[in-house]
Amino acid sequence: MRALVVFESMFGNTRAVADAIASGLAETMEVDVRSVDDAPDGIAADLGLVVAGGPTHAFSMSRETTRRDAVARGAEHPTSGLRDWLERLPESRSSAAVATFDTHAAQKWIPGSAAKAAAHEARRHHLRVLSSRSFYVADMEGPLVDGETDRARAWGRDLARRVQEE
């Protein structure tokens, strides 16, 4: 079974989480990892799982204004947004399962999650959302909190098991 991991990342943390998720998936699935800038416009018929994630900006998925703000704060990877990629997905009867993730400030009490917003958008496209998860960064530009890439790899492994058992 094939999986696609799509990520948006401005400081590199969400990319590191995406790579770790992909390495967990790759233990039992064929995996393609793509930045949103380079992601396919639709969900190919042979995909069993799509894992999509981005940074939490202003309590949700990024917008052009928040990405500009990130660049002003030193982000080195200008990118398009996960929100735009999801919104552009064509209406389809894809049977692929979807999982969403984000990076979020380590202060877990700060409300809002790009992963939850992405799940909401995926459901609006009639996609089946299996799971959503946040991974934590110590500060605005990172680094990831210790242990988060291990947690991401384990989540990837678990997602692969779940879709293959269905």
Ligand X SMILES: Cc1cc2nc3c(=O)[nH]c(=O)nc-3n(C[C@H](O)[C@H](O)[C@H](O)COP(=O)(O)O)c2cc1C
Does residue 117 touch ligand X according to CB under 6 A?
no
Does residue 10 touch ligand X according to CB under 6 A?
yes
Does residue 137 touch ligand X according to CB under 6 A?
yes
Answer for which of 32, 69, 84, 158 binds ligand X (CB under 6 A) is 69
Beta bridge partners of 100: 52, 132
The stretch among 35-43, 88-96, 104-112, 145-153 that binds ligand X (CB under 6 A) is 104-112
DSSP 60: B
ω into residue 40 within 30 of 0, thus cis?
no
Residue 15-54 contact track with ligand X, rule CB under 6 A, x = bound: ----------------------------------------
Contacts of residue 114, Cβ cutoff 8 Å, sequence gap at least 6: 53, 54, 55, 56, 57, 60, 61, 62, 82, 100, 102, 103, 104
Residue whose C-alpha is closest to residue 13's, from 51, 50, 55: 55
Shorter beta-carbon distance to ligand X: residue 60 or 94: 60
Residues in contact with ligand X by CB under 6 A are 9-14, 55-59, 66, 69-70, 73, 103-105, 110, 112, 137, 140-142
